[in-house]
Amino acid sequence: MLKMGSNDFDEIRRHGEETYPYECCGVLLGRMDGDVRSVSSVVRCGNTRTDSPQNRYHIDPRELIRIQRQGREREEDIVGFYHSHPDHPARWSPTDLAEAHWFGCSYVITCVEKGKASATNSFELTGSDEDEKKLVDEKIEVSQAET
Ligand SMILES: [Zn+2]
């Protein structure tokens, strides 16, 4: 299960609307507690795919390392990733599965229809190696932001 505050949930959806008709992408930092991943911050990334940004995303590995290091300073780990599907359903594609390598992390996909975020779903990457990995539906629990 993935838990996040409504502010972080809205931020993911807003990012997808801003980059429409291109895909947005980013990283979810937080804590893992067994099967529960709790998001404490959302970090936007630049989509480095210039050949096909409408239906592909790619996060620069150097950017990922930088985010991971910054998270560690605040005792946060990478617990997931997000990207948008402009005018495509919020379901993972075969490419999304092929390019997912972080086992036990959440992969959040937001559908953006004609510039407006609609469905947002999350999938956990399960399995122990590349040959038998799967993206499995998981629940997103959104809580109201603490003030
Ligand atoms: Zn995708």
Using the mean position of ligand 1's atoms as its centre, give its distance from the Cα of residue 54 in Å.
Answer: 10
Supply the pLDDT for residue 147: 53
The tens digit of pLDDT for each residue in 18-45 reads: 999 999 999 999 999 989 999 999 999 9
My answer on whether omega of the bond before 21 falls inside 30° of 0, hence cis, is: yes
Coil/strand/helix, residue 57: coil
Coil/strand/helix, residue 72: helix
Confidence class for position 144, pLDDT limits 50, 70, 90: confident
Using the mean position of ligand 1's atoms as its centre, give its distance from the Cα of residue 38 in Å.
Answer: 22
Tell me the whole-structure pTM to 2 decimals. 0.94
Q: Report the distance separating Cα 26 and Cα 121, nearest Å.
A: 15
* DSSP structural state of residue 34: T
The tens digit of pLDDT for each residue in 5-24 reads: 999 999 999 999 999 999 99
Q: 125 pLDDT exceeds 60?
A: yes
